[in-house]
Amino acid sequence: MLSGDKTIRNIAGETWLKGTGMVNLDQSQAGLALGLQLSVGYAPFKRFTDMVEQQLIRVSDFHNQSLQLLFENMLLQLPNEPIKHLKKALELYAELLALNKKGIADASLSPKLEIWNQTVGLQKTIKLIL
Protein backbone atom coordinates (compact mmCIF):
# COMPACT_ATOMS: atom_id res chain seq x y z
CA MET A 1 0.00 0.00 0.00
CA LEU A 2 3.00 2.27 0.40
CA SER A 3 5.01 1.16 -2.61
CA GLY A 4 6.49 3.75 -4.93
CA ASP A 5 5.10 1.78 -7.87
CA LYS A 6 1.51 2.73 -8.59
CA THR A 7 0.71 -0.68 -10.10
CA ILE A 8 1.80 -2.41 -6.91
CA ARG A 9 -0.27 0.03 -4.82
CA ASN A 10 -3.31 -0.71 -7.00
CA ILE A 11 -2.79 -4.45 -6.54
CA ALA A 12 -2.44 -3.95 -2.78
CA GLY A 13 -5.65 -1.91 -2.78
CA GLU A 14 -7.52 -4.59 -4.70
CA THR A 15 -6.12 -7.23 -2.35
CA TRP A 16 -7.34 -5.20 0.63
CA LEU A 17 -10.80 -4.86 -0.92
CA LYS A 18 -11.05 -8.58 -1.60
CA GLY A 19 -9.54 -9.64 1.74
CA THR A 20 -11.85 -7.30 3.62
CA GLY A 21 -14.90 -8.50 1.70
CA MET A 22 -14.06 -12.10 2.59
CA VAL A 23 -13.36 -11.11 6.23
CA ASN A 24 -9.87 -12.63 5.97
CA LEU A 25 -7.89 -9.52 6.75
CA ASP A 26 -7.06 -8.40 10.28
CA GLN A 27 -7.59 -4.64 10.02
CA SER A 28 -5.91 -3.90 13.33
CA GLN A 29 -2.72 -5.69 12.26
CA ALA A 30 -2.77 -4.01 8.85
CA GLY A 31 -3.21 -0.61 10.51
CA LEU A 32 -0.41 -1.36 12.96
CA ALA A 33 1.97 -2.29 10.14
CA LEU A 34 1.08 0.77 8.06
CA GLY A 35 1.36 3.09 11.06
CA LEU A 36 4.78 1.78 12.01
CA GLN A 37 6.08 2.19 8.46
CA LEU A 38 4.68 5.70 8.16
CA SER A 39 5.98 6.74 11.58
CA VAL A 40 9.59 6.01 10.59
CA GLY A 41 9.25 7.71 7.21
CA TYR A 42 9.32 4.52 5.14
CA ALA A 43 7.05 6.14 2.57
CA PRO A 44 5.16 9.41 2.09
CA PHE A 45 1.74 9.47 3.74
CA LYS A 46 0.34 10.92 0.52
CA ARG A 47 0.71 7.57 -1.25
CA PHE A 48 -1.62 5.98 1.25
CA THR A 49 -4.15 8.81 1.42
CA ASP A 50 -4.37 9.02 -2.38
CA MET A 51 -5.03 5.29 -2.62
CA VAL A 52 -7.72 5.45 0.07
CA GLU A 53 -9.40 8.39 -1.61
CA GLN A 54 -9.32 6.87 -5.10
CA GLN A 55 -9.86 3.20 -4.39
CA LEU A 56 -10.87 2.16 -0.87
CA ILE A 57 -13.41 4.57 0.62
CA ARG A 58 -17.15 4.39 -0.14
CA VAL A 59 -16.98 0.85 -1.58
CA SER A 60 -19.54 -0.53 0.89
CA ASP A 61 -20.65 0.04 4.46
CA PHE A 62 -18.63 -2.97 5.59
CA HIS A 63 -15.50 -1.71 3.81
CA ASN A 64 -15.94 1.73 5.37
CA GLN A 65 -16.20 0.20 8.86
CA SER A 66 -13.11 -1.93 8.21
CA LEU A 67 -11.24 1.09 6.90
CA GLN A 68 -12.14 3.01 10.06
CA LEU A 69 -10.59 0.23 12.16
CA LEU A 70 -7.47 0.23 9.97
CA PHE A 71 -7.19 4.02 10.28
CA GLU A 72 -7.54 4.00 14.06
CA ASN A 73 -4.81 1.41 14.49
CA MET A 74 -2.59 3.22 11.99
CA LEU A 75 -3.04 6.64 13.63
CA LEU A 76 -2.18 5.21 17.05
CA GLN A 77 1.27 4.26 15.76
CA LEU A 78 2.14 7.71 14.46
CA PRO A 79 4.41 10.02 16.47
CA ASN A 80 3.04 12.82 18.63
CA GLU A 81 4.71 15.32 16.32
CA PRO A 82 2.42 15.53 13.23
CA ILE A 83 3.96 14.14 10.07
CA LYS A 84 3.55 15.51 6.57
CA HIS A 85 0.07 14.91 5.05
CA LEU A 86 -1.45 13.94 8.40
CA LYS A 87 -4.19 16.50 7.83
CA LYS A 88 -5.41 14.69 4.71
CA ALA A 89 -5.46 11.39 6.60
CA LEU A 90 -7.45 12.97 9.42
CA GLU A 91 -9.90 14.43 6.89
CA LEU A 92 -10.41 10.96 5.42
CA TYR A 93 -10.85 9.54 8.92
CA ALA A 94 -13.46 12.21 9.71
CA GLU A 95 -15.26 11.29 6.49
CA LEU A 96 -15.24 7.63 7.52
CA LEU A 97 -16.75 8.53 10.89
CA ALA A 98 -19.50 10.45 9.11
CA LEU A 99 -20.13 7.65 6.61
CA ASN A 100 -20.25 5.04 9.38
CA LYS A 101 -22.36 7.32 11.60
CA LYS A 102 -20.12 6.37 14.50
CA GLY A 103 -17.65 8.00 16.82
CA ILE A 104 -14.11 6.95 17.52
CA ALA A 105 -14.19 3.21 18.21
CA ASP A 106 -10.81 3.09 19.98
CA ALA A 107 -10.83 5.41 22.99
CA SER A 108 -7.02 5.33 23.19
CA LEU A 109 -6.93 7.47 20.02
CA SER A 110 -8.49 10.50 21.73
CA PRO A 111 -5.35 11.49 23.71
CA LYS A 112 -3.26 11.41 20.53
CA LEU A 113 -5.83 13.60 18.77
CA GLU A 114 -5.68 16.04 21.70
CA ILE A 115 -1.89 16.24 21.29
CA TRP A 116 -2.22 16.85 17.55
CA ASN A 117 -4.89 19.43 18.29
CA GLN A 118 -2.08 21.68 19.57
CA THR A 119 -1.02 22.11 15.91
CA VAL A 120 -2.87 25.06 14.40
CA GLY A 121 -3.29 23.49 10.95
CA LEU A 122 -4.99 20.39 12.36
CA GLN A 123 -7.39 21.98 14.85
CA LYS A 124 -10.37 22.36 12.52
CA THR A 125 -10.14 18.77 11.26
CA ILE A 126 -9.67 17.31 14.75
CA LYS A 127 -12.66 19.31 15.99
CA LEU A 128 -14.77 17.47 13.38
CA ILE A 129 -13.48 14.14 14.67
CA LEU A 130 -13.94 14.86 18.36
Closest CA to 106 of 32, 21, 46, 22: 32
Query: What does the pLDDT profile of the chain (130 residues) look like in tens digits?
Result: 999 999 999 999 999 999 998 888 899 999 999 999 999 999 999 999 999 999 999 999 999 999 999 999 999 999 999 999 999 999 999 999 999 998 898 889 999 999 999 999 999 999 999 8
Which amino acid would we find at residue 33? A
User: Cβ(114)–Cβ(107) under 8 Å?
Assistant: no
DSSP-derived secondary structure letter, 108 = T
User: Cβ(38)–Cβ(48) under 8 Å?
Assistant: yes
Taking the C-alpha atoms of residue 54 and residue 40, their distance in angstroms, rounded to an integer, is 25
Quick one: pLDDT at residue 21? 87
Quick one: pLDDT at residue 95? 97
Quick one: pLDDT at residue 118? 95
This prediction has a pTM of 0.93
